[in-house]
Amino acid sequence: MDHSQAGQTAANARRAAWMRVLSLADPATLEGAFRGLGGVPAHQMLRPAQTGMAMVRARSGGTGARFNLGEMTVTRCAVTLADGVVGMAYVQGRSARHAEQAAVADALLQLPEWHDTVDAQVIQPLARAHADKVDAQARVAAQTKVEFFTMVRGED
């Protein structure tokens, strides 16, 4: 892999990371963070928010053969800014607003003049909120943990 391919791979990984944060964000929290940005550049809908179904695949035990687990509702949206930058988003559920805001944030994060601001005011707080939520869920689950053990008798 040459240097330009490695750079492109790293850029794709960074974009995938912020798109994940945007898609997992609580819509109300995203709304508040987005509002804090103030006036964002105008955008046009390339693909207005559309809701559909996506097949979820899983692996038995996390390592077995793949199987179709079921379907889930997904909303997607694509926007374009005046300079031609395209932002896309796929979010779980039916929130057209969530998908549109995530797509606009994706587009802004691709612009050098907006990247640091959107990262600091939207992505980082959303990532922390998601991590806190996961930690809280793990603590609740840990409270219900049951340890099983076997007592061995001294007799054969």
What does the pLDDT read at residue 3? 62
Alpha helices for 39-156 (secondary structure H): 96-109, 112-118, 124-143
Task: Please state the φ and ψ torsions of residue 113, each to the nearest 5 degrees.
Answer: -75, -15
What does the pLDDT read at residue 60? 86
What does the pLDDT read at residue 1? 60
- Single-letter code of the amino acid located at 107: A
Question: What's the chain's length in residues?
Answer: 156
Per-residue confidence of the chain (156 residues) as pLDDT tens digits?
A: 666 677 778 888 999 999 999 999 999 999 999 888 888 889 999 999 999 999 999 998 878 899 999 999 999 999 999 999 999 999 999 999 999 999 999 999 999 999 999 999 999 999 998 888 888 888 888 888 777 777 777 665
Reported as type and span, the H/E element at residue 76 is strand 66-81
Q: Rounded to an integer, what distance in angstroms lies between the CA atom of residue 30 and that of residue 128?
A: 12
What does the pLDDT read at residue 20? 95
Distance of CA 59 to the CA centre of its chain: 21
